[in-house]
Amino acid sequence: MTGPRFLLALALACLALPLSLAAGEPGKQPIKFARFKVNDTITYGVVEGDNVREISGTIFEDWQKTDKVHALSDVKLMVPTRPQHVFAMAGNYKSHLSDAEIPPKFRIPQPFLKSLSSLTAHESRIVIPKDATEEVHYEAEMVIVIGKRARRVPKEKALDYVLGVTCGNDVSERYWQNDEENKDVQWWRAKGSDTFGPCGPFIATGLDYDDLLLTLRLNGEVKQQERTSQMIHDVAAQVNFISKYVTLLPGDLIFTGTSGKTSKLQAGDVVEVELEGVGVLRNRVTREK
């Protein structure tokens, strides 16, 4: 077959090719993924305006759009992935550090582990433990989503292992974390208590992850706002450093640190984290009784 009929067939074949992680490469069209529950099924889809279209396959390999479309208002958004590791960065914005200069220990990345049970979804509740103090703080953060197995990844290739980013809130109990006489040896409960890691609502690919506007609003008032270009260690540096010691797996999350100063959350508060190109993560705060 030659001529116009051949060209038409070739064009149709190209349209049928599956999409994959390559869609998140720089210069590619940005895509938003959602992990959601409809009826009793949890699946992934591509966000299309106010709708989400189910996909076949997995977002971490080859996938294709299907003809199943749902209104976002009709589905329950879930935590964007099911990670095996959740890391978070300490002291990754100069504006969050009290020193005028970057202290020596923060001149290398300082990741720590958050518990898997700290993760909670968009529009879910942040639950303050009953024995927590009044100093439970918000921390707006961009969250890296790992796209494929990463072990000892060179910095210059690290972005090839990033699927995309989402919004996060590294909720922190400051007394357990910082009180000089009574602080815990580790941040296991200060940062890892159940619901202390909201993230979502979507994963966005194909953005300039190192230059996005990150904003936190508490009851509608802007409390934090800074660009991710102000991170001390950029996305590639974080993936490179962590993968030297821990093998990162598809779906793993890295909370990349918070900017500026933070303050406390109280029962009844509504906290929103907005990341340019991704969306708004919204959670209401309650206290355990």
Cβ burial, residue 106 (10 Å; 0-12/13-18/19+): buried
Q: What class, spelled out in words, does domain 86-287 have in CATH?
A: alpha beta
Is 272:281 a contact under the CB 8 Å cutoff?
A: yes
Who's near 213: CB < 8 A, 6+ residues apart?
225, 226, 227, 228, 274, 275, 276
User: Domain spans of the chain?
Assistant: 18-77, 86-287
Task: Provide the token pair at 157.
Answer: 């290739």
Count of C-beta atoms within a 10 Å radius of residue 230: 17
Side chain identity at 112, as an amino acid letter?
F
Task: Phi first, then psi: give them for residue 13, nearest 5 degrees.
Answer: -65, -40
Cβ pair 51, 69 in contact under 8 A: yes
Alpha-carbon distance of 220 to 127, in angstroms, equals 20
pLDDT in 10s for each residue of the chain, 289 residues: 445 454 444 444 444 444 444 334 444 689 999 999 999 999 999 999 999 999 999 999 999 999 999 999 999 999 999 999 999 999 999 999 977 789 999 999 999 999 999 999 999 999 999 999 999 999 999 999 999 999 999 999 999 999 999 999 999 999 999 987 878 999 999 999 999 999 999 999 999 999 999 999 999 999 999 999 999 999 999 999 999 999 999 999 999 999 999 999 999 999 999 999 999 999 999 999 9
CATH class held by domain 18-77: mainly beta
Give this prediction's pTM.
0.90
pLDDT at position 120, please? Answer: 98
Say if residues 169 and 138 touch (Cβ distance below 8 Å).
yes
